[in-house]
Amino acid sequence: MPKETWLLWNDISRSPYMNMAVDELLQKEAMAHGKVILRFYGWDRDSVSFGYAQAPSALPERANGFVYVRRPTGGGIVFHDDDLTYTLAVPPEHPICRLDRMESYRVIHEAVMDAVRDLGTAASLAEADMGDHTKATLQCFVSPTLHDILGESGKLAGAAQRRGHSGILHQGSISNEAAHGHTRQEFIQAVADAFVARFDLAYEPLPVENSDFLARAEELANRKYASDDWNNDRIVPEASRS
């Protein structure tokens, strides 16, 4: 019998602003349910996400023509034009939250690495970190960091986290190269199955369709993640009092 139950959501492609808003609210949902939430999702347009502490001025020339959004997590610049993205929202009482940041990063990426290997792509975890002097303009798939997933030609997967009293929000990106010719759904299934094997768990569907969750996410997306205040200056606009 599985040791625990996670909530699974194979979501649709959404706008960059909606994706970030959904992930932010998922951390609260994980606390409310007392269970880890795993979400797979796509992007409805070519997008670039950048870390909480970065500035849009750090975006490379390649980002011209892409829609950009600041993530609630750290990390570097990620192009979302041909990747598989997933999020883990981990409630504070879960054992993963007792690990330090790099250990939690490692155990999650070990599962993702298993999936990549199962699909036929050679993969390993990066054994070294970068120097701090490069991180201000970090491009995630150009600049591997400790416990990123590497393939024969470079980085295959990376992630960023936010940690606090509400637990861990872990946002991950896996290059389509890792799919090794498999369909997107086969790719998703392999990653979901790898978490089952690593953590001895079973899935239940996340109950969002019959709630006000998506309406709340849309309000947050429009107010915060689509705003210049947030994306340019890291200022969170106040909610309307009406």
pTM for this predicted structure: 0.92
For residue 240, the tally of other CB atoms under 10 A from its CB is 7
How high is the pLDDT of residue 239? 75
* Catalytic annotation present for 97: no
Please tell me the predicted confidence (pLDDT) of residue 40: 98
Mean pLDDT by 10 residues, the chain (242 residues): 93 98 98 98 96 89 90 94 96 97 97 97 86 49 80 93 97 94 96 98 91 96 98 87 48
pLDDT of residue 1: 78
Q: How far apart are CA 72 and CA 74, in angstroms?
A: 7
DSSP string, 161-206: EEEETTEEEEEEEEEGGGGTT--HHHHHHHHHHHHHHHHTEEEEE-
Homologous superfamily assigned to 4-233: Bira Bifunctional Protein; Domain 2 (3.30.930.10)
**Model pLDDT, residue 128:** 76
CB atoms within 10 A of CB 24: 21
The answer to whether 105 and 168 are in contact (CB under 8 A) is: no
Q: Is 85 exposed, middle or buried (0-12, 13-18, 19+ CB in 10 A)?
A: buried
Q: Catalytic pick from 20, 140, 168, 191?
A: 140
* CA 167 – CA 164 distance, rounded (Å): 5
